Chain A
Amino acid sequence: MAEIRLQALAHSYSRTPQGPQDYAIRQMTHVWEQGGAFALLGPSGCGKSTLLNIISGLLSPSEGKILFDGREVNRLSPEQRNIAQVFQFPVVYDTMTVFENLAFPLRNQGLAEGKIRSKVNEIADVLELHPVLHKRAKNLTADEKQKVSMGRGLVRDDVSAILFDEPLTVIDPHLKWKLRRKLKQIHEQFNITMVYVTHDQLEASTFADKIAVMYGGQIVQFGTPRELFEKPAHTFVGFFIGSPGMNLIPVQRCSGGVQFDTIKVPLSPRLQEQLEQLPSSQIKIGIRPEFVHVWDVPFEEGYECDVLHVEDLGTYKILTLRLGEHTLKARLQEDQKVPQRRVHISFPEQWLKVYVDEFLVE
């Protein structure tokens, strides 16, 4: 069991980094509390794999410290850190049975056979591996193999954290559902810190209590799935979380708010005041497709736009709209009436966000 703390941590693969562009991980200070379920979410190349390797001990950070429960572990190997890891492609010991696979880490510790048996049976129960317990691991399906590799971490009492490196990549969608649910239940049952690395926002948000969104070697936001959705702290979070992502439109200041393509968007006096204090002219407004209100009759404060495209995604529909020179997306419930050709939309004040230099203004 452990709290994982990154202290002014940074990593560069170059020996003599010249500037921020040479860093795979830019300096960050960050805490993952003991027993939490966390996700590290980002596109490929954002530095999440580097960070994962630093946590697991395969890589030693070039600057700063990594602490487990206050103890510096910078130079400790994975086995010394008591970390378990589930890899993208299932790793099982082919020649062993499932039972032997699960018993392997315990046998390596020299535990008594009776103890091993009860522990393995307990974990096999939790993971629902009993039907295949005496099958050779080689002949399992991908999802069973992933459960086995997770089980090898769970059997140990001394494991401080389990790291997951995109563990559902090779799993079919209908099994992903089951396995993801299993992961979540296990986390609730065992008091183990879990860090889940993925590029899939749905996996991250359904698994984790808190998500760290990584972009360009930095954690741009650390928050609950709800916070990331409702209050993205960075335009990248707005774009990356949500399907489709947030509508982001570059705007200019004007009296009473901001404007783009002759369309004026009023802002609250508080936001206007904040905006005036910032020198940058890099301003964007953002609103999630889910929060765009769509009407088929004109009304005050509404903007009229053309409907470009309607997608039926089964449980909901996506409307692509043209407002001024920009396209916007709006999400409709399955049963909501689909307007023809022209619609009127409004941006509820609560959900309209303003970004300066890509960061949220509150």
Chain B
Amino acid sequence: MSLVLEHVSRRVDRTLYIDDANLTFEPGSFNVLLGRTLAGKTSLMRLMAGLDRPTAGRILMNGADVTGVPVRQRNVSMVYQQFINYPNMTVFENIASPLRLSGESNAVIDRKVRETAEMLRIDPFLSRLPLELSGGQQQRTAMARALVKEADIILFDEPLVNLDYKLREELRQEMRELFKARRTIAIYATTEPNEALALGGTTTVLHEGRIVQSGPTAEVYHRPNSVLAAELFSEPPINLLEGRITDSEVTFDETVHFPLNQDLQGIGAGQYRFGVRPSHLGLVPSNDDDLELSVLVELAEISGSETFLHVRNDHFSLVLHLSGVHEYDVDEPIRVYVPTHKLFVFAQDGRLIQAPQRQR
């Protein structure tokens, strides 16, 4: 079962919610929709589910046009942010409910419910009521109900937001395992870049109703097609510097100069925007051609294993994502190193000109 969106738009009154979306989802794929609040993730999902009708474009399932087909006839499941279960049915009955609707025999229902519950590790709680369970178990129940139906498409709308950090980590991992052997298309909306990375599969970056970039998750992360994609898919936010390339050197903010190196030679002279990921900046040079910058410490956020170091000078501020603990005082002068071979180069209009080479 494949799902294709062709020039799909949705407009309500004057507001454009989705603007010309073109997407293809392969059977058995795990797809992440990444975007900030109001980017259009939920709108897009509602269109895929058939809850809303696009104002333009077509939606194809397995090649057949389903644009006007309502949700009841589409065989989709949805899991929401809130833990939505039938409060007065047991966990077993909750999971069984879609099967009862489709009129399966009791033996089949029993087998499928137990299988799914086991997979999601809620089999000990089958006879309890949802509200007697923890948040994580409640969401697992909702997920089991979505899975047991063997829908063609399962839509997850930020399902882990209301769960504890550790539970999220755990469920995220389980999700990937769950979908490995299935033919279902899984589509998962999130606001968190790190969640997209952890889930893998493919990622579609959305912003203000438009698709910014779509592709295999690692590919999108390592080769964002624009400044916008890089900003949206980076946590902590990617560092951006205005700069210029001439025949012999590179200048940042009219103040920092360094000789043109091999990586940047092919680009040609002109004004550019340079991006560098916080994790690529260092406190010691990692390479001969690293650029040294004198900066003042603004803030050091230490998270046990890592430090997020916020630094600035008169012209720009940077964030460093360092491993290990680095304690600094506010306004302490330090040197940081920018590996010039790890620079993203963007055109003035935001288009990607060059992404750094990846080591394999």
Which A positions have Cβ atoms within 8 angstroms of B? 43-45, 172-174, 177, 180-181, 184-185, 188, 199-202, 205-207, 225-226, 228-230, 239-245, 288, 290, 311-316, 333-335
Contacts of A43 in B (CB 8 A): 164, 166-167
> In whole angstroms, how far apart are the Cα atoms of A312 and B302 in the complex?
23
Contacts of B323 in A (CB 8 A): 290, 316, 333
Contacts of A188 in B (CB 8 A): 330
B134 at the interface (CB under 8 A from A): yes
Distance in Å: Cβ of A329 to nearest Cβ of chain B:
10
Return 11 A-B CB contacts under 8 Å, by A number.
Answer: A173-B192, A177-B237, A185-B299, A199-B164, A201-B165, A202-B165, A206-B301, A230-B304, A242-B304, A311-B200, A315-B321
Name B221's closest neighbour in chain A (CB-CB): A314
Bits for B145-175, please: 1 = Cβ < 8 Å to A, else 0. 0000000000000000000111101000000
Contacts of B308 in A (CB 8 A): 206
* Apart from the given pairs A174-B235, A333-B323, 15 other A-B contacts in the complex at a CB distance below 8 Å: A173-B193, A174-B237, A177-B236, A180-B301, A181-B310, A188-B330, A199-B164, A199-B166, A225-B325, A229-B325, A239-B166, A240-B166, A313-B194, A314-B193, A316-B323
Contacts of B237 in A (CB 8 A): 174, 177
Contacts of B277 in A (CB 8 A): 315
Distance in Å: Cβ of B6 to nearest Cβ of chain A:
30
Name the interface size band of chain B.
Answer: 35 or more
| Contact, CB under 8 Å: B359 / A206 | no
Distance in Å: Cβ of A26 to nearest Cβ of chain B:
20
| Contact, CB under 8 Å: B310 / A205 | no
Residues 297 to 325 of chain B near chain A (Cβ within 8 Å): 299, 301-305, 308, 310, 321, 323, 325
Contacts of B200 in A (CB 8 A): 311-312
> In whole angstroms, how far apart are the Cα atoms of A299 and B348 in the complex?
52
> In whole angstroms, how far apart are the Cα atoms of A230 and B306 in the complex?
12
> In whole angstroms, how far apart are the Cα atoms of A229 and B306 in the complex?
10
Name A141's closest neighbour in chain B (CB-CB): B37
| Contact, CB under 8 Å: B302 / A226 | yes
B279 at the interface (CB under 8 A from A): yes
| Contact, CB under 8 Å: A172 / B301 | no
| Contact, CB under 8 Å: A244 / B169 | yes
B335 at the interface (CB under 8 A from A): no
> In whole angstroms, how far apart are the Cα atoms of A81 and B183 in the complex?
59
> In whole angstroms, how far apart are the Cα atoms of A68 and B278 in the complex?
41
Residue from B169, B237, B303 with most neighbouring chain A CB atoms (10 Å):
B303
B239 at the interface (CB under 8 A from A): no
> In whole angstroms, how far apart are the Cα atoms of A243 and B359 in the complex?
24
> In whole angstroms, how far apart are the Cα atoms of A225 and B306 in the complex?
10
| Contact, CB under 8 Å: B279 / A334 | yes
> In whole angstroms, how far apart are the Cα atoms of A207 and B301 in the complex?
7
Contacts of A290 in B (CB 8 A): 305, 323
| Contact, CB under 8 Å: B299 / A229 | no
Bits for B20-42, please: 1 = Cβ < 8 Å to A, else 0. 00000000000000001100000
Contacts of B304 in A (CB 8 A): 201, 205, 225-226, 228-230, 241-242
Q: Find A44's partner among B37, B134, B197, B221 (CB 8 Å cutoff).
A: B134
Contacts of A288 in B (CB 8 A): 305
| Contact, CB under 8 Å: A173 / B191 | yes
| Contact, CB under 8 Å: A225 / B36 | no
Q: How many A-B residue pairs have CB under 8 A?
A: 95
| Contact, CB under 8 Å: B197 / A314 | yes
| Contact, CB under 8 Å: A242 / B305 | yes
Bits for B108-123, please: 1 = Cβ < 8 Å to A, else 0. 0000000000000000
Name B278's closest neighbour in chain A (CB-CB): A315
| Contact, CB under 8 Å: A201 / B301 | no
Bits for B279-298, please: 1 = Cβ < 8 Å to A, else 0. 10000000000000000000
Contacts of A200 in B (CB 8 A): 165
Contacts of A180 in B (CB 8 A): 301
Residue from A172, A200, A311, A314 with most neighbouring chain B CB atoms (10 Å):
A314
Q: Find A225's partner among B236, B299, B302, B359 (CB 8 Å cutoff).
A: B302
> In whole angstroms, how far apart are the Cα atoms of A43 and B169 in the complex?
13
B198 at the interface (CB under 8 A from A): yes
| Contact, CB under 8 Å: A44 / B299 | no
Contacts of B235 in A (CB 8 A): 173-174, 177
Contacts of A333 in B (CB 8 A): 323
Residues 24 to 76 of chain B near chain A (Cβ within 8 Å): 36-37
> In whole angstroms, how far apart are the Cα atoms of A312 and B237 in the complex?
18
B84 at the interface (CB under 8 A from A): no
| Contact, CB under 8 Å: A172 / B37 | yes
Contacts of B218 in A (CB 8 A): 312, 314
| Contact, CB under 8 Å: B299 / A313 | no
B333 at the interface (CB under 8 A from A): no
Contacts of A177 in B (CB 8 A): 235-237
Q: A184 with B303: in contact, given A315-B279, A334-B279 (CB under 8 Å)?
A: no
> In whole angstroms, how far apart are the Cα atoms of A242 and B272 in the complex?
38
Distance in Å: Cβ of A333 to nearest Cβ of chain B:
7
Name A201's closest neighbour in chain B (CB-CB): B165
Name A224's closest neighbour in chain B (CB-CB): B302
> In whole angstroms, how far apart are the Cα atoms of A207 and B16 in the complex?
39
B135 at the interface (CB under 8 A from A): yes
Contacts of A185 in B (CB 8 A): 299
Distance in Å: Cβ of B218 to nearest Cβ of chain A:
5
Q: Find A205's partner among B169, B198, B221, B302 (CB 8 Å cutoff).
A: B302
Name B37's closest neighbour in chain A (CB-CB): A172
Name B231's closest neighbour in chain A (CB-CB): A174
Q: A206 with B303: in contact, given A173-B192, A177-B237 (CB under 8 Å)?
A: yes
> In whole angstroms, how far apart are the Cα atoms of A336 and B208 in the complex?
37
| Contact, CB under 8 Å: B134 / A45 | yes
Q: A243 with B134: in contact, given A174-B36, A205-B303 (CB under 8 Å)?
A: no
Name A173's closest neighbour in chain B (CB-CB): B192
Cβ-closest 3 pairs across A and B: A229-B304, A206-B301, A315-B279
Residue from A200, A202, A240, A315 with most neighbouring chain B CB atoms (10 Å):
A315
Bits for B180-195, please: 1 = Cβ < 8 Å to A, else 0. 0000000000011110
> In whole angstroms, how far apart are the Cα atoms of A313 and B221 in the complex?
9
Q: A229 with B305: in contact, given A200-B165, A243-B169, A334-B279 (CB under 8 Å)?
A: yes
Distance in Å: Cβ of A351 to nearest Cβ of chain B:
11
Residues 185 to 232 of chain B near chain A (Cβ within 8 Å): 191-194, 197-198, 200, 218, 221-222, 231
Q: Find B359's partner among A181, A184, A314, A335 (CB 8 Å cutoff).
A: A335
